[in-house]
Copies of this chain bind each other. A is one copy, B any other.
Amino acid sequence: MAADQRQLHLGAFLQGVGHHLAAWRHPDVDPRNALRFDHFKQLARTAERGKFDAIFFADSLGVPEAPPALLARGLLPSYLEPLTKLAVVAGVTERIGLISTVSTTYLPPFHLARKFASLDVLSGGRTGWNLVTSGTEWEAHNFNLETQVPHAERYSYAREYVDIVKGLWDGWGDDALRFDKEAGVVFDPDKLHVLNHQSERFRVRGPLVSERPPQGYPVIVQAGSSADGQALAAATAEVVFTAQQTLEDARGFYSGLKAQLAQHGRAEDSLKIMPGVLPIIGRTEQEAKDKYEQLQSLIDPVLGVGLLNAFLGNIDLSKYPLDGPVPDFPLTEGWQSRQKLFVDLARRENLTLRQLYQRVSGARGHRIVLGTAETVADQLEDWFVNGAADGFNILPPTLPQGLNDFVELVVPVLQGRGLFRTEYRGHTLREHLGLARPRNQFE
């Protein structure tokens, strides 16, 4: 292995007690952990022991407006506010990066900028912001709106929003603070930069009430893969989480997005693409398969069919037998591409209704890599060396078990192949990811 061998990056996507829809029902899992500090503390420390680049929390700004009886069968009330969760964990970790989702749609940019700036200061430069826009009616209803902001408008706001946030992060020069006791001067007044952003949508004077974040800007992460989402990512993102299922799709996405960077004057390695992967790890292939089957068997049919109904545009599937073929049904005005995807999948693989909802809902649409530590590492390496990924966002099916397995079994294999660090070299998330520290736009 060469000293300068390209290495992959790893994120630990920590979701309640696991990503699998039925994780909470697994006999080894304590679902109450989703609400315990000790759980997240141990997860973060495990990921840090495994030298992951970062942990990552997702978010949702509301409870879906579905029948409570359906929600009750699978909605884990685990969306504690992710930046709060991240801050609590920051205090008990040393090196690992800390990435949280925060939507631009319902939070004033001044609040967002200072929250990340503050956590970046307190964590010694370890934060990343997963920029999302909120795309559901039920979230809009919690924020004074009858109906959500249209897709294109959300993305145009988001673009402006990022500029404002960066302008606020640049509000203090990097060496503004002097703390000269003798002269009685706390900071250099020439290094206080008032943003004074003025548009129809946003009027934000600035600056923040604290110094520039140690990383300059917290790392900017995105996960949108629509055309609007990719355009925003090409302009602003430094890490992109994706959800392709096949090497071919992933390579297409990877090269397509990287090709868009040049028009923003950006180098290819200034953006890291990290597909999501749900690993099922066994000591043997058979053990891994058994683990997966056990989880799949725990998916509640009512919930599985309910989710499939939702994906397919609220078609009533309850009259069809679960173990019969997937019926024909008309396309609705909803998610036509999704409908077609699922029906094609069912036809191609000759799936029953039960098999279809299990395929769709178990891993919530993410790539599953299943096998021993060696074969799981093979599957990751395959994508990494074949132009499909700069690393992976690992979605443990159960927590803490799935993360423990990955750190104890797969990480050493990747390290042995020279594909992954054996020790942190830097201290900030930017350093872990090999991303440059941005210059201050005012200097």
> Which A residues have a C-beta under 8 Å from some C-beta of B?
24-25, 27, 31-32, 35-37, 40-41, 60-63, 65, 67-69, 71-81, 83-85, 87-92, 106-108, 110-111, 114-115, 117-119, 121-124, 138, 141-146, 172, 177, 179, 181, 184-190, 192, 202-211, 300, 302-303
Contacts and interface: CB of A to CB of B under 8 A. Distances in A.
A144 B202 contact: yes
Contacts of A209: 60-63, 77-79
Contacts of A146: 203
A25 B178 CA distance: 12
B118 A37 contact: no
A74 B35 CA distance: 42
Given A61-B110, A72-B185, A185-B72, A122 B31 contact: no
Given A35-B121, A88-B122, A184-B302, 18 more contacts: A35-B211, A36-B122, A37-B124, A63-B209, A68-B190, A68-B192, A71-B187, A71-B189, A72-B189, A73-B186, A79-B210, A80-B121, A80-B210, A87-B91, A88-B119, A106-B110, A110-B142, A141-B204
Contacts of A138: 205
B79 A144 contact: no
Contacts of A111: 81, 106-107, 111
Nearest to A122: B37
B181 A144 contact: no
- By Cβ-Cβ distance, the 9 closest A-B pairs, closest first, are A87-B87, A68-B189, A91-B91, A79-B209, A141-B205, A80-B118, A81-B118, A184-B300, A72-B189
Contacts of A303: 184
Contacts of A184: 25, 73-74, 300, 302-303
Contacts of A89: 91
A190 B115 CA distance: 36
A132 B218 CA distance: 29
Nearest to A44: B91
A129 to B, nearest CB: 13
A143 B91 contact: no
Contacts of A88: 87-88, 90-91, 119, 122-123
A15 to B, nearest CB: 13
Nearest to A192: B68
A142 B63 CA distance: 30
A186 B75 contact: yes
A32 B87 contact: no
A84 B83 contact: yes
A428 to B, nearest CB: 14
A128 to B, nearest CB: 15
Contacts of A117: 80-81
